[in-house]
Structure 1
Amino acid sequence: MGKRVLVVEDELSIQRILQYDLMQSGFIVDLASDGEEGLQKARRNSYDVMILDVMLPKRDGFSVCKELRKEENPVYIVMLSARDDEFDRVMGLDVGADDYMTKPFSSREVVSKVKAIMRRKGMHHQKACTERLSYQQLILDQRRFEVLINEEVIDFTLKEYELLEFLIHHQGQALSRNLLLDRLWGYEYDGDTRIVDVHIFKIREKLKPYGIKIKTIRGIGYMLEDEKND
């Protein structure tokens, strides 16, 4: 079965171009023209990726994203912002978006991003095994992409899970923001490293009650302490 994408965009011309180019690349594409319609379709169907505009009739993209994450919907959300505004980007990440793009963009950029997301998700499934990855009292279920503490599932988005998994695999190593950006978002050096900082902040807030800390390495990036040296 083909991979499914939901495009939530009220500008008909953008909507149709994205639909055509995504379908030409083999994706199954559904459309929604306002936030409420997008929310209901995301609830009824299982999508791999959701392309979600910020400015929408009836319900804005931030509200839609926040609601889906509250319901623990795992769809990978790419938010579209009409301007290169840091507030919009940070707000989108704060409510649970995995990524963002700034208008204007070419539809080929969007298709390339969706393909990259699918490749990373496919790599995760290939690496998935019956064993669990552990760090201190954390357990990562690599088949279900879940984070557990004391057998209780902690609410993590897919991107937060990927970032935590990468930190655990490289514990004891100082990881630069550019490296994390390149490996987990697929950007090269022109990426905005603020997206890494926002996701690290959110992970820290979720792990703080359990005493698990991610160290900031000044001028470089982040690191999990090596358990063997604790």
Structure 2
Amino acid sequence: MRILVIEDDREALAYLVKAFRESGHAADSAPDGLDGYAMAREGQYDVLVVDRMLPKLDGLSVIRSLREQKVETPALILSALAQVDDRVKGLRAGGDDYLPKPYAFSELLARVEVLARRNARSGGAAEATSYRVGDLELDRLSHRVSRGGQDIPLQPREFRLLEYLVRHAGQVVTRTMLLEHVWDYHFDPQTNVIDVHVSRLRAKIDRGFDRPLIHTVRGAGYMVRDGAR
């Protein structure tokens, strides 16, 4: 599941992104309403988590504008405003759920996962919930990975790495792309973190099978495809 968190409180934003990723999901962040709207408008997310009070463009306006643009990604509103009228305004603006602050992350996560499942069942998911490359299968909702019918347990970071690779199966994925979308680094930390993690992932996905699926493209990056060329 890919989540966009739109929150102007830096500590809260960092906490939520870290917590979602540790739960095995991909999470991006936006620090204000305008950036959040621009990112959400691309329609690449399964769920939006939107703080109500945002700079530049408030949370309700973000959601209302997205609905006007026919972006139907489920949105959960976070707010310190907890009165019935406040919740009603949030839902009427186009929000799908409303969670007052303070909240427990376990409840937030459960609500987000419910929204994602509901959206997938309705056929409104922006992305597929499962992928298949050769005999490799990845399910984004259950976080299950198997190859040739054999379950392959992965750590959360490994799952996100594989998910990004299979979403771009047949395409070259650069190290910069992986740093930005899997590690959320917008700079090169001058380490071999990508190579180390890909090596570990390759050992789990390819070892013991008759053909590799994860390929190194010399001087460019990596590619997941069925069969060697």
Give the TM-score of the pair, scaled to structure 1: 0.51
SS of 2:87's partner is helix
SS of 1:6's partner is strand
2:60 to 38, 59, 62: 62
The answer to whether 1:48 aligns with 2:46 is: yes
**Partner of 2:6 in structure 1?**
8
1:27 to 25, 28, 38: 25
Amino acid at match of 1:23: R
**Partner of 1:17 in structure 2?**
15
Whole-angstrom CA distance in 2 between matches of 1:114 and 1:103: 15
Whole-angstrom CA distance in 2 between matches of 1:39 and 1:144: 19
Question: Following superposition of structure 1 onto structure 2, how do residues 91-130 of structure 1 map, counting pairs within 5 Å?
Answer: 91-122=89-120, 124=121
User: Which is further off, 9-18 or 112-121?
Assistant: 112-121
The count of aligned residue pairs is 125
Higher RCO, 1 or 2 (CA under 8 Å, sep at least 6)?
2
- Whether the aligned pair in 1 keeps the contact of 2:72 and 2:124 (CA below 8 Å) is no
Q: CA deviation at 1:116?
A: 2.3
SS of 1:112's partner is helix
Identity of aligned residues (%): 38
Whole-angstrom CA distance in 2 between matches of 1:115 and 1:144: 15
Whole-angstrom CA distance in 2 between matches of 1:144 and 1:64: 19
Question: Following superposition of structure 1 onto structure 2, how do residues 208-223 of structure 1 map, counting pairs within 5 Å?
Answer: none
Whole-angstrom CA distance in 1 between matches of 2:63 and 2:87: 13
The structure number with the bigger radius of gyration is 2
Amino acid at match of 1:86: V
Q: CA deviation at 1:17?
A: 1.3
Amino acid at match of 2:82: D
2:70 to 69, 72, 77: 72
Which runs of at least 4 in structure 1 moved beyond 4 Å after TM superposition? none
Q: CA deviation at 1:144?
A: 6.1
- Whether the aligned pair in 1 keeps the contact of 2:43 and 2:71 (CA below 8 Å) is no
2:82 to 79, 84, 87: 84
Over the aligned positions, Cα root-mean-square deviation in angstroms equals: 1.8
Whole-angstrom CA distance in 2 between matches of 1:118 and 1:83: 24
- For structure 2, which runs of at least 5 residues remain unmatched after alignment? 126-229
- Whether the aligned pair in 2 keeps the contact of 1:81 and 1:89 (CA below 8 Å) is no
Q: CA deviation at 1:28?
A: 0.9
Structure (1/2) with the larger helix percentage: 1
Amino acid at match of 1:89: R
SS of 2:94's partner is coil
- For structure 1, which runs of at least 5 residues remain unmatched after alignment? 126-142, 146-230
Whole-angstrom CA distance in 2 between matches of 1:63 and 1:144: 22
Amino acid at match of 1:60: D
